[in-house]
């Protein structure tokens, strides 16, 4: 049966459910160039406005996977499991988590991306390590998984090309916010990766794409539903992103903090989320009898990290880049820091050079922010709250602007922990399976 893109657009515009045949045809035709950008733009807008049923979204995802190759991990020799975060501020969890889960006996192929705007990118962080390279072939990925059990790298060129093309189009046509399109974009790449299990970290709060719990639940349910429908063992944790994770925000700063965690230290919230995500990943991989907290404290995960970095040409013992200029934001009064807005801190770090406005932009490896105080901690008037790091001192003014109203201080004796300050919520808000 011959298909018409106009018929597909009209069907979704009018609220109809697209048939599996229509979905397969339009995704394939767009990938081949037989459907024009303006036509796919119209369909994307119709999907944003009319939505998709779960079966439609699952089929759309499968069609995007079928647009390219898949990574065959069948001979790796260990259960394969991956984690994906929807993005946040100070979210360096992938860095300690990947070697930790590998040290527990799983194989972890973590195909990651770069940052854009106020959320950081894992590849940008790791490229602050001298010599480390992000691009690996499929054979190199398989070999490193066999040797070290863990790899963090860029997606290979042939995985889900339909997604790359559609993602760029959505970015310039006001259709980024569509939950079916967000979910299918994330899951098409993860299914093409060839892993057996996947755990999703769906961020919720000011520094996340999903600002409230209802939005986060909708996305988490869509992601888990797509994975299940496509034969991928999938679960999701909805986690708080109202406050930056850890104290470091920025590429080399976050790498240093991740290494602290792997060395048995680091901020409590980073350790907590790393261990909880590891537990969920190990459960999905059939390794729930292993205690990731014990493995982390033993140093075995740090050993795996060093092997993983060396395998990709990096020097795990090298001195990391430092920014040339540092400015300190001090507390205007004494009391307890009761809020620190993740979005504002992320934007400030981006303006200091830690992020990019366009995919083509370079980042400053040493730029970013160190949170010298976090919500629930007491501060004295004039004491450091935030350290701003950059190679371009003219950026300080824009960063200070972004931080206007970013924090509040209550009178002395008003101490509260992060859970209390979040209205009784802990770092992990819900689990979706």
DSSP string, 345-367: HHHHHIIIIIS-SSTT----TT-
**343, 207 in Cβ contact below 8 A?**
yes
Burial class (CB in 10 A: 0-12, 13-18, 19+), 228: middle
- Verify whether residue 263 is a known catalytic residue: no
Report d(CA 76, CA 322) in Å as an integer.
38
CA dist 405 → 123, 261, 340, 400 (Å): 31, 30, 9, 10
Count how many Cα atoms sit within 13 Å of the Cα of residue 194 in the half-sphere of its side chain: 20
Pairing of strands 325-330, 384-390: antiparallel
Report d(CA 185, CA 162) in Å as an integer.
9
**363, 250 in Cβ contact below 8 A?**
no
373: which 2 tokens?
């105080």
- Verify whether residue 185 is a known catalytic residue: yes
Catalytic choice (67, 178, 185, 196): 185
Catalytic choice (59, 92, 165, 170): 170
99: which 2 tokens?
């070697």
Catalytic choice (59, 125, 189, 190): 189
73: which 2 tokens?
């991990």
Q: How many helices (H) and strands (E) does the chain have?
A: 17, 13
**152, 113 in Cβ contact below 8 A?**
no
Catalytic choice (91, 163, 201, 240): 163
Give, to the nearest 10 degrees, the angle between helix 54-66 and helix 20-32: 40
β-sheet bridge partners, residue 233: 197
**101, 262 in Cβ contact below 8 A?**
no
Report d(CA 196, CA 206) in Å as an integer.
32
DSSP string, 26-74: HHHHHHHTSS-HHHHHHHHHHHHHH---HHHHHHHHHHHHHTSB----T
With H, G, I as helix, E, B as strand and everything else as coil, classify residue 238.
Answer: strand
Catalytic choice (84, 118, 190, 203): 84
**Count of C-beta atoms within a 10 Å radius of residue 134:** 17
CA dist 49 → 35, 43, 181, 185, 259 (Å): 21, 10, 12, 17, 44
Tell me the catalytic residues: 84, 163, 170, 185, 189
């Amino acid at each position: 049966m011959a298909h018409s893109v106009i018929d597909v657009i009209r069907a979704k515009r009018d609220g109809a459910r697209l048939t599996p045949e229509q979905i397969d045809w339009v995704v394939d035709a767009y990938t081949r160039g037989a459907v024009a950008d303006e036509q796919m733009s119209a369909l994307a807008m119709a999907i944003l406005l009319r939505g998709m049923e779960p079966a439609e979204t699952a089929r759309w995802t499968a069609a995007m996977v079928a647009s390219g190759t898949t990574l065959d991990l069948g001979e790796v020799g260990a259960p394969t499991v991956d984690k994906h975060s929807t993005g946040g501020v100070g979210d360096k969890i992938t860095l300690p988590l990947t070697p930790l889960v590998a040290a527990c006996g799983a194989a972890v192929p973590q195909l990651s991306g770069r940052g854009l705007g106020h959320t950081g990118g894992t590849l940008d962080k790791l490229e602050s390590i001298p010599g480390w390279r992000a691009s690996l072939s499929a054979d190199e990925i398989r070999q490193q998984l066999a040797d070290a059990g863990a790899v963090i790298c860029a997606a290979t060129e042939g995985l889900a090309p339909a997604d790359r093309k559609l993602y760029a189009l959505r970015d310039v046509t006001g259709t980024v916010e569509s939950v079916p399109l967000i979910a299918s974009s994330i899951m098409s790449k993860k299914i093409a990766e060839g892993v057996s299990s996947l755990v999703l970290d769906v961020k919720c709060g000011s520094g996340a794409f999903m600002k409230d719990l209802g939005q986060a639940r909708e996305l988490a349910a869509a992601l888990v539903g797509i994975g299940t429908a496509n034969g991928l063992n999938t679960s999701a944790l909805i986690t708080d992103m109202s406050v930056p994770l850890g104290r470091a925000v920025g590429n080399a700063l976050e790498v240093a903090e991740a290494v602290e965690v792997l060395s048995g230290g680091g901020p409590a919230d980073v350790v907590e989320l790393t261990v909880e995500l590891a537990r969920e990943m190990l459960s999905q991989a059939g390794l729930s009898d292993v205690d990731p907290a014990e493995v982390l404290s033993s140093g075995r995960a740090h050993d795996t990290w060093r092997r993983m970095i060396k395998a990709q040409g990096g020097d795990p013992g090298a001195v990391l880049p430092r920014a040339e200029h540092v400015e300190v934001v001090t507390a205007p009064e004494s009391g307890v820091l009761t809020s620190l807005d993740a979005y504002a801190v992320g934007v400030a770090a981006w303006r200091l050079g830690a992020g990019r406005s366009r995919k083509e932009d370079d980042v400053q490896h040493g730029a970013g922010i160190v949170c010298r105080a976090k919500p629930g901690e007491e501060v004295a008037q004039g004491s450091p709250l935030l350290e701003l790091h950059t190679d371009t001192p003219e950026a300080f003014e824009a960063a200070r602007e972004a931080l206007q109203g970013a924090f509040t201080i209550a009178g002395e004796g008003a101490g509260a922990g992060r859970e209390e300050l979040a209205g009784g919520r802990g770092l992990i808000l819900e689990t979706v399976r």
